[in-house]
Amino acid sequence: MKIAFPTNDKEKISAHFGRSKGFMIFEIKDGKVVSEEYLPNTITGHVQHTTNEDPAQEHSHEHNHSVDTHERVAREFANMDVVISGGMGYGMKSRFESAGINIIITSEKNIKTALDLFLQGSLKHEEGLSCNHHS
């Protein structure tokens, strides 16, 4: 199983999937982490914008998302089983779900804590945290 977390510092979960500086990827076997890696974000449509953990500031302008961007991201993450994020737009969330990737939106900020909670089966999806600024 592979689990991806958007992050700006390799420790905290980013408040917005598309604006993260990169992604921590964990491979899980038999309930244990067997590998982890960091992938810089070179694929999302927001990568050219500055990264900000305050969602109110992040979404203060209009976005011009294309279907191509969401599809490109979904292809890059096709080998992931789960994406755990602090927030995600409906369009990206929909693409991941259509590809069979489980999405969990959480208020937990620490990647390792969220990963442990997920592996214990106690990390809950918090729908109200999703980004509703675009679709």
Q: Spell out the alpha helix ranges (H) of the chain.
A: 55-58, 67-76, 90-98, 111-120
Provide the total of helices (H) and of strands (E) in the chain, helices listed first.
4, 5
Domains of the chain with bracketed CATH: 1-44+79-135 (3.30.420.130)
- The Cα 35–Cα 40 span in angstroms is 17
Q: 17-49, pLDDT tens digit by residue?
A: 988 999 999 999 999 999 999 999 987 755 544
Q: 106-132, pLDDT tens digit by residue?
A: 999 999 999 999 999 999 999 765 554
The helix (run of H) or strand (run of E) holding residue 85 is strand 82-85
Token pair for 46: 């927001």
The mean pLDDT of the chain is 82
Token pair for 13: 């979960």
Which carries the bigger pLDDT value, residue 16 or residue 110?
110
